[in-house]
């Protein structure tokens, strides 16, 4: 019925595998567990290989990137549905797998379970990623269903095998950011429905502020590259809040960039130290988008 697909890069997955293995043993259904390592360091591979003795475990000789490795699971999965989980996920709901098996009775095309974070505030070094996750990503199924395609996230979703063969992740996206945006857009374009349910995976590894700022910049560079893909049109742009806001202020772009460059050192300092305002972070991303777009256009 389900192939659980976990791409891994430099992360110890022991807790995740133990939780899933326990739930697999308790359900009356065919569920296989597949782990593909995407060129991790040797010590991580050694630990995870030991953890995955009862799984289908594959090691790749080099890193393929976030999109290509997920598409690769079609070569190893044998079941009709693929359940993708990020390697830093934690499963604390004892009915997590059962909830997905229950929804299969409706023969869905795609199911998103959602994402959640611990309610306790972490230290300031991780405050930015935590606050962004709490207020921007941890949404109920009811809220996500209002904009089902824009709310698609790839950290915890189930997809029919034949549907995944039809859409796949865009392999031109090799670095962090927006591979899930493009898959959600592809599903919308082909009018393939997404079912949202309250079955979240816990984000078990919160990036430091500095790491999240680095990933944010990488994601914005990816986004600028996507804008050059001919097949992605206005309806994709309207699904990304950063681009929607950019369109509104476009005639003031030079002024915004000037303000951004003037305040960038202070904003970077505050955000990296964990003094977090999400409105400030939104302005930081907008300015970074304009700055990087202009840099890339000159190259």
Same domain, 192 and 239: no
| Residue 220, domain extent | 211-298
C-alpha 152/C-alpha 167 separation (Å) is 14
C-alpha 53/C-alpha 37 separation (Å) is 14
Same domain, 23 and 157: yes
Same domain, 245 and 156: no
* The domain boundary residue, chosen from 185, 206, 227: 206
Q: How many other CB atoms are there within 10 angstroms of residue 138's CB atom?
A: 17
Same domain, 190 and 80: yes
| Chain centroid to CA 292 | 22
Question: Are the C-beta atoms of 21 and 54 separated by less than 8 Å?
Answer: yes
Cα angle for residues 236, 242, 243 (degrees, 5° grid): 45
Residues 6+ apart with CB under 8 A from 299: none
**Strand (E) or helix (H) holding 143:** helix 141-146
Same domain, 136 and 223: no
Same domain, 32 and 178: yes
pLDDT tier, 176 (very low <50, low <70, confident <90, very high otherwise): confident
Express each pLDDT in 89-147 by its tens digit. Answer: 999 999 999 999 999 999 999 999 999 999 999 999 999 999 999 999 999 999 999 99
Mean of all residue pLDDT scores within the chain = 92
Q: Which is it for strands 115-116 and 201-203: parallel, antiparallel or unpaired? A: parallel
* The domain boundary residue, chosen from 161, 179, 206: 206
Same domain, 66 and 152: yes
Name the one residue in this structure whose structure tokens are 């206005």. Answer: 234
Span 161-174, average pLDDT: 89
pLDDT tier, 233 (very low <50, low <70, confident <90, very high otherwise): low
Same domain, 160 and 177: yes
C-alpha 108/C-alpha 165 separation (Å) is 15
Question: Are the C-beta atoms of 261 and 235 separated by less than 8 Å?
Answer: no
SS3 (DSSP) at 246: helix
Same domain, 281 and 200: no
pLDDT of 174 > 90? The answer is no
For 171, counting Cβ atoms within 10 Å of its Cβ (0-12 exposed, 13-18 middle, 19+ buried), the class is: middle
Give the whole-number percent of the chain exceeding pLDDT 90. 76
- Provide the pLDDT for residue 187: 93
Give the whole-number percent of the chain exceeding pLDDT 70. 96
* pTM confidence score: 0.92
Q: Which two tokens stand for residue 251?
A: 């005639």
SS3 (DSSP) at 93: coil
Q: How many other CB atoms are there within 10 angstroms of residue 230's CB atom?
A: 5
* The domain boundary residue, chosen from 206, 230, 254: 206
CATH number at residue 157: 3.90.550.10
Residues 6+ apart with CB under 8 A from 146: none
C-alpha 89/C-alpha 16 separation (Å) is 7
Of 12-26, 94-108, 222-236, 273-287, least confident by mean pLDDT is: 222-236
Sequential DSSP letters for 38-74: -S--HHHHHHHHHHTTTSEEEE-SS---HHHHHHHGG
The total of structural domains in the chain comes to 2
> Rounded to whole angstroms, what are the CA distances from 152 to 104, 163, 179, 264?
18, 15, 10, 31
Residues 6+ apart with CB under 8 A from 75: none
């Amino acid at each position: 019925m389900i192939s659980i697909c976990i791409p891994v890069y430099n992360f110890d997955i022991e807790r995740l595998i133990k939780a899933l293995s326990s739930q697999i043993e308790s359900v009356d259904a065919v569920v296989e567990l597949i782990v593909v390592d995407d060129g991790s360091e040797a010590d991580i591979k050694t630990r995870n290989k030991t953890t995955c003795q009862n799984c289908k475990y594959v090691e790749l000789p080099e890193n393929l990137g976030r999109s290509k490795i997920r598409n690769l699971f079609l070569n190893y999965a044998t079941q009709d549905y693929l359940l993708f989980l990020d390697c830093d996920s934690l499963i604390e709901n004892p009915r997590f797998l059962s909830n997905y098996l229950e929804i299969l009775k409706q023969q869905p095309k795609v199911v998103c379970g959602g994402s959640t974070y611990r309610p306790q505030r972490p230290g300031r070094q991780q405050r930015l990623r935590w606050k962004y996750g709490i207020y921007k990503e941890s949404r109920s199924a009811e809220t996500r269903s209002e904009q089902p395609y824009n709310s698609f996230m790839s950290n915890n979703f189930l997809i029919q095998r034949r549907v995944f063969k039809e859409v796949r992740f865009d392999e031109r996206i090799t670095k962090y950011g927006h591979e899930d945006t493009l898959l959600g857009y592809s599903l919308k374009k082909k009018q393939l429905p997404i079912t949202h349910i309250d079955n979240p995976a816990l984000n078990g590894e919160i990036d430091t502020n500095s790491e999240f700022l680095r990933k944010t910049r990488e994601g914005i560079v990816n986004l600028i590259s996507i804008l050059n893909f001919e097949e992605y049109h206005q309806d994709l742009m309207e699904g990304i809040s950063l681009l929607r806001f950019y369109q509104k202020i476009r005639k003031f772009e030079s002024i915004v960039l000037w303000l951004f460059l003037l305040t960038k050192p202070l904003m970077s300092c505050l955000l990296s130290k964990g003094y977090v305002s999400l409105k400030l972070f939104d302005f930081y991303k907008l300015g970074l988008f304009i700055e990087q777009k202009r840099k890339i256009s000159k190259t």
